[in-house]
Structure 1
């Protein structure tokens, strides 16, 4: 009989990432399956979201029900991980994703990335292919939920008006209004670092299946933005799933059913 330990409700563990002033403690939860050669699920949250979110928790519970391992974590400045949110950058959060993936997970993994997490997922795959080719084959496939690729440039800087840009350049921060609660603090460091981590519409062959779930009523990551991603992901690996009445979060029961179906086909 398959047995799971470290169930999704356990207290988070911590992993130290970075050195010197960049040293921070990253909180993560992992549930490990004793089933031999079972594929695991690796969750990447969105901007200002965390591993206790509805979708992250639902994925961990689904994995446990299907005798699969799962791993999720909080980026620095998010959830219960160290650091102020305003120190966060794409490069910093990518470093943390790489550390958790390589030091916590084992065996083949399906990466599930939501919004910014979809961008981090693609950057993680690209980094491993370039810098740690022995690790990259462990990524069996990607499931991207409204992937906010090149978010800091395409969905922030290019959309901002003069007042927002001036605040970022002169004051170092802009408080972006949010429909989900408190304003999002967008820092100059986030924007400038993001320019060093762009897909930049350059052809990229992921080399494994990529399933994209996209709500057509999403105001934050429009379907036109996501469709453009499918134009420069090469190799014929991408499946694009439209959700006609779906918005950004895609956390309704019917949305989760589509997500679980996509994951199930990859594992």
Structure 2
């Protein structure tokens, strides 16, 4: 059954919380994704079988949470994540998929005392600036400024409506321009056939971040969904490895 919480900013967020031992594992989903996705549900099943506390949730404007997607921005969804983390006590292992990887890195920067470890899946740090804005044509940039939004085609369904707010607010959330200490076990996972997040992003993140226990695993032929049986097993194995290294 879905539960709901009200964030300090007044947004109503949907979540599923599985009781168990800590450190709790938290799944942070991707851009226009939701907590019913394959990876989130697979991790929840793993957590139940393992007796591990687990949380999955929907950002505002996503899934079962209130709000319109086009009203949101990276900062809103970071705040939603922080509010959801308030449901849990003690240290946490975050599992961030795509945009959720960027948000997880922001959490690690804002509240390192809560972090026991981190696993990212096709992490997309700074994508609003380095992928979207940098990839826009002059006409698309002009449309953003004049109309306040632009439509981008998506292989996942309807076009993505990218707002001026999303682009401009995202510039306040960048993590690859300043030092990024990650003083806990970190596992970055990336597919070589990912058409949405290039392998170079994972390499840049590994090179940029600073930490005593960071590893990047590249999976030959894996795409952005990272949801076949091999990839799903790698995710849970990586979470278990991080949990095993928590002091």
Normalised by the length of structure 1, the TM-score is 0.88
Aligned to 2:203: 227
Aligned to 1:46: 30
Spell out the pairing of 1:104-115 with structure 2 (5 A cutoff): 104-115=87-98
2: CA distance between counterparts of 1:237 and 1:169? 43
- 8 Å CA contact retained: 2:187, 2:242: no
Q: Paired residue for 1:99, among 65, 79, 83? A: 83
1: CA distance between counterparts of 2:136 and 2:216? 28
- 1:74 pairs with 2:64: no
CA displacement 1:86-139 (0-9 Å, x = unmatched): 1111110001111111x211223210000000000000111114xxxxxx2x31
Report SS of the residue matched to 2:52.
coil
Report SS of the residue matched to 2:135.
coil
Normalised by the length of structure 2, the TM-score is 0.95
- Which sections of structure 2, spanning at least 5 residues, go unmatched? none
Q: How many residues align?
A: 243
Aligned to 2:16: 29
Report SS of the residue matched to 2:56.
strand
Report SS of the residue matched to 1:126.
helix
Q: Please state how far the C-alpha of 1:59 moved relative to its aligned partner.
A: 0.6
Two-structure CA RMSD over aligned residues (Å): 1.1
Q: Please state how far the C-alpha of 1:214 moved relative to its aligned partner.
A: 0.3
Q: Please state how far the C-alpha of 1:18 moved relative to its aligned partner.
A: 3.4
Report SS of the residue matched to 2:111.
helix
- 8 Å CA contact retained: 2:187, 2:216: yes
Aligned to 2:100: 117
